[in-house]
Amino acid sequence: MFDFPEGKRYNTSAGRYRRLYGERLQKLVIDAGFSCPNRDGTVGVGGCSYCDNAAFHPGYSTPGKSIVRQIDEGIEFHRRRYPKVKRYLAYFQAYSNTYAPLERLKALYGEALSHPSIAGLVIGTRPDCVDEEKLDYLAGLAHGGNNPSGPVIVVEYGIESCYDETLKRINRGHDFETARRAVEMTASRGIDVGAHFILGLPGETREMLLGQCETISSLPLTSVKFHQLQIVKGTRMEKEYAARPEEFLRLGLDEYLDLVIDILERLRPDLCIERVAGEVPPRFVRETPWGLIRNDGILKLLDQRLEERDAWQGRLSGR
C-alpha cells in the first residue's frame, strides 16, 4: 500500500500542507463580489442548473464587507473549532474569481495577502475564465506551494464532469476540453491546480463515474474535490429532478461511501483528496437523506469502511 500520511488510506490535502509547512492551513471563504459569464450573458444566462451560490458559503462571507473584514470574521468563526490554527488560506469561492480585469484581481488578491494571518490564496473559478496573462501573474506570486518562503497559490477549477453530454445538460457553458486546457496551462507554470467534480449529475451512471477516474488521473492536478449532487431549492435542477427522478443516481450514505472508495482505488495515489462530500444548510434543500451528519462524521465512516474493505487510494490505478 502507498505510504499515506497520518495513517490514512488516501492522500489528504491537509496532510500535504502539514508536510510542506509543518501546520494546518485553514481555508477562509471570501466573497469578493465576482459574477459569472454563465449568468451575465457572456456565455449563458441563469447559470448552471444546480447552482445557488448562497447555499455554499458561510454567513461571514458576504460581498458587502471588505476582504480584510471577511478574513477577520472568518478567523473568529474558525477559532472555536480549530484553536491551534495560526495561518489561513483566503479562499475566493463565490462565483468565478478570475472573471475580472487583471488590475482588479491584483487589488483583491493583494488585499488578502496583506493580512498577517494569510499564508496564501485558493482561487475558485471556471476553466473559461483564465488566460495567459492572469496565470503568468499568479505564477509570479509563488510556485504552487513549492516555495515555502512565498504564499501558497492554488487555482481550483469547477470541472464537475468529464462528459460533454453532462456538461451540456447542466448548462455548464464549456466542454471538457476547455477544462483540460486550463488545467494544463496552469500546471505548466508551477501553480497548484485543484478540480471539483459532482457525483450524481443527471444521466450519469455509477459506471460513468468510475470510468472518468482514468481521465482525472491523467490531468496534472494537485488536488481534487468530490461532492454528492444536492438538489437545492429553486434551481432548475430541482424541477428536472421532480420531472425525471429516475435519471438521477441517488445513493444512501453507505452506498455513497462505497462509490467514493471505488473512485479512490482508481485514482493515482499522489493526487490529494480535499473533499469527498459537501454540506448544504438544510434550509436550502427539500430533503436530507443522510440526516444531519457533518463532514467530519463522513470522513470517520470513510476511514472505517476503507479498513473493512482493505482498500486504499490507487490500488486499482496501476500507478
Q: Average model confidence (pLDDT) for the chain?
A: 91
Domain membership flag for residue 314 = no
CA–CA dist 208, 201 (Å, integer): 11
Backbone angles phi, psi at 28, to 5 degrees: -120, 120
pTM tops 0.85, yes or no: yes
At residue 307 the predicted structure's pLDDT band, cuts being 50, 70 and 90, is: very high
pLDDT digits (tens, 9 = 90+) for 279-305: 888 788 878 888 888 889 999 999 999
Report the domain count for the chain. 1
Nearest Cα residue to 121 out of 109, 133, 105, 130:
109
Q: What's the domain range around 72?
A: 5-309
Q: What does the alpha-carbon distance between residue 38 and residue 213 come to, in Å, rounded to a whole number? A: 27
Q: Is residue 252 part of a domain?
A: yes
Looking at residue 50, what is its pLDDT?
83
Residue 319 lies in a domain: no
Cell 471556471 appears where? Answer: 126
Cα dihedral sign, 98-104-108-111: positive
Residue 186: which pLDDT band, with cuts at 50, 70 and 90?
A: very high
What type of residue is 251? L
Among residues 257, 154, 266, 159, which one has the least CA distance to residue 210?
A: 266
Alpha-carbon span 273 to 153, nearest angstrom: 17
Distances (CA, A) of 137 to 170, 172, 186, 233: 32, 27, 11, 38
Confirm whether 258 is domain-assigned: yes
Q: What is the CATH number of the domain that holds 261?
A: 3.20.20
Q: Looking at the domain assignment, is residue 317 inside a domain?
A: no
The pLDDT value recorded for residue 54 is 63
Pick 17 or 47 by higher pLDDT: 17
**Residue 293 domain-assigned (yes or no):** yes
Q: Give 237-262 as a DSSP string.
A: HHHHHHH-GGGS----HHHHHHHHHH
